[in-house]
Each structure stands twice: as C-alpha cells, then as structure tokens.
C-alpha cells in the first residue's frame, strides 16, 4: 500500500512529508505530483502534495486529506503569492495555472487574496480521501499509523518534528469578515469543525 497526503497547500504537506520520513517511510514532497507529473512511479511509496488533489487514486493508495484553519491557510497562501499575477497579461506561474485549470472560476477573481480564499473552498472539495484530519489535531500516533500503512515494521516517531516552513514576515490577517464574502467558505469550515467567529486571527478548533 502506498500513502498520499494532500490538501490545499500551505496546510502542512511539507511538514508531514518530513514527519513520515522520520517515522521510517521515505515520503517525497511534490515529486510524484507536480504541475507536469501526476502519479507514483516504481519504488515510490509515499508522497505529500497539494497537486494530487484533483486525481482519483488507485486502490493501492491510501489517501489522507489534511485541512488547516482557513484563516491561517489563506493568509499563508496569499503571502506565498501562488495565485498572484506573475507577468503582464494576467498570466500566473505553473502552480497557479495548474490550480486554475481545475478551478477556472478563480481566474475571474480580482485579487490574489480572493483567489487564495476561493482555492481553499474549491480545492478541498476536489479531494477524495480515505480519511481527513485537521492539521491542528495532528498527533505522533497519526503519523506512525500512516507510516505503518506502507510498512508495518516502520519504527515510528516519539515526537513530531518542528514546523519550519512558516512565513517569516506575514501580511495582514485574513479575518472572518473577509471569509464571509467567499461563497461556501464559512460553511465548509464549519463542516471541518472550525469556529471562525472566535477571537484571534486563526480561529479555534471544535472537537
């Protein structure tokens, strides 16, 4: 059995690739699934990539859908500039164009922020998974369980590695009043268990 972890991007896929690898199963990040490549090759057993979300996986692939609080994820995606206009004429980079191919509605959005918010809604809806987990709820036991899906003899972790892929100079917060303007965003967040009405810029997680 192979393992695939996917979501929207900026939701912990790089961190989870590191964690699965440290648990004893080599897990690549955006290698098997890129804008130009869409599947595992011989010898590859685990991958974490948001670019895999549009594709239905074979039965021998166990799919984990990781989600992150949208107020935090959208802010991070916006600051990363994935959906910002890169050149004159309204063109985007390869990752942005790949997303727009699957979610063409984003092309009509007027700003990078709105495209990033729309992406959180539509991209999450694309994922067909065996299970879903909120990044905020992740435990060592989850990582070890996924590693053992691939290799029952994987040694596992005693603690999670540090999360080092964070924005050093984040822009202004993305708040509830912004989220409420994006069709379907608040409703999907509630379905995933997020309370966006809480104080602070990242919301809370409901059990």
Please provide the DSSP assignment of 190-204 as one string: HHTTEETTSSSSS-E
Helix (H, G, I), strand (E, B) or coil at 4: strand
pLDDT at residue 87 in the model: 67
Phi-psi region of 9 (alpha: psi -120 to 50; beta: other; left: phi over 0): left
Are 59 and 17 in contact by the 8 Å Cβ rule? The answer is: no
Residue 16 has pLDDT above 50, yes or no: yes
pLDDT value, residue 204: 39
Given this model, what pLDDT does residue 76 score?
A: 94
Distance in angstroms (rounded) separating the CA atoms of residues 158 and 6: 24
In this structure, what token pair is assigned to residue 66?
A: 């990781």
* Spatial distance between the Cα atoms of 25 and 3, rounded to a whole number of angstroms: 10
Q: Which residue has the higher pLDDT, 91 or 29?
A: 29
Report pLDDT for 112: 92
pLDDT tens per residue across span 120-132? 999 999 999 999 9
The closest alpha carbon to 124, from 207, 201, 204, 68, belongs to 68
The structural domains of the chain, with segments of one domain joined by +, span 2-205
pTM: 0.92
What is the token pair recorded at 2? 């192979």
Q: Give the pLDDT confidence score for residue 205 in this predicted structure.
A: 38
The two tokens of residue 59 are 């039965």
Residue with tokens 């059995």, as numbered in its chain: 1
Question: Is pLDDT of 166 > 70?
Answer: no
| pLDDT(207) > 50 | no
Check residue 200 and give its pLDDT.
Answer: 44
Would you state the pLDDT for residue 90? 58
Q: Residue 108 gets which letter from DSSP?
A: G
Pairing of the two strands 204-205 and 28-29 = unpaired
pLDDT of residue 86: 77
Beta bridge partners of 61: 2
pLDDT at 202: 44
Q: What is the pLDDT of residue 164?
A: 73
Q: Between residues 170 and 195, which one has the greater pLDDT?
A: 195
Give the model confidence (pLDDT) of 124-160 as tens digits.
999 999 999 999 999 999 999 999 999 999 999 999 9
Per DSSP, 31 falls in state S
pLDDT the model gives residue 102: 95
Gap between the Cα atoms of 70 and 17, Å rounded = 21
Other C-beta atoms closer than 10 Å to the C-beta of 100 total 17
Q: Check pLDDT > 50 for residue 19.
A: yes
CA distance 1 to 20: 14
Q: Which residues contact 25 (CB under 8 A, 6 or more apart)?
A: 3, 45, 46, 147, 150, 151, 154
């Amino acid at each position: 059995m192979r393992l695939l972890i996917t979501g929207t991007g900026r939701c912990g896929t790089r961190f989870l690739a590191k964690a699965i690898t440290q648990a004893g199963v080599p897990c690549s990040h955006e290698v098997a699934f890129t804008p130009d490549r869409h599947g595992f090759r011989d010898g590859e057993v685990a991958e974490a990539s948001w670019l895999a979300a549009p594709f239905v996986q074979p039965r021998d692939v166990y799919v984990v859908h990781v989600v992150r609080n949208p107020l935090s994820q959208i802010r991070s995606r916006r600051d990363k500039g994935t959906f910002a206009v890169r050149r004159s004429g309204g063109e985007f980079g390869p990752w942005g164009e790949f997303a727009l191919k699957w979610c063409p509605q984003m092309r009509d959005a007027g700003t990078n922020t709105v495209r990033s918010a729309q992406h959180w809604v539509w991209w999450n809806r694309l994922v067909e998974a065996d299970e879903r987990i909120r990044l905020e709820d992740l435990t060592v036991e989850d990582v070890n369980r996924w590693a053992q899906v691939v290799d029952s003899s994987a040694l596992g972790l005693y603690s999670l590695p540090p999360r080092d892929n964070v924005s050093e100079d984040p822009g202004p917060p993305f708040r509830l009043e912004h989220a409420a303007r994006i069709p379907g965003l608040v409703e999907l967040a509630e379905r995933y268990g997020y309370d966006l009405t809480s104080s602070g810029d990242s919301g809370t997680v409901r059990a």
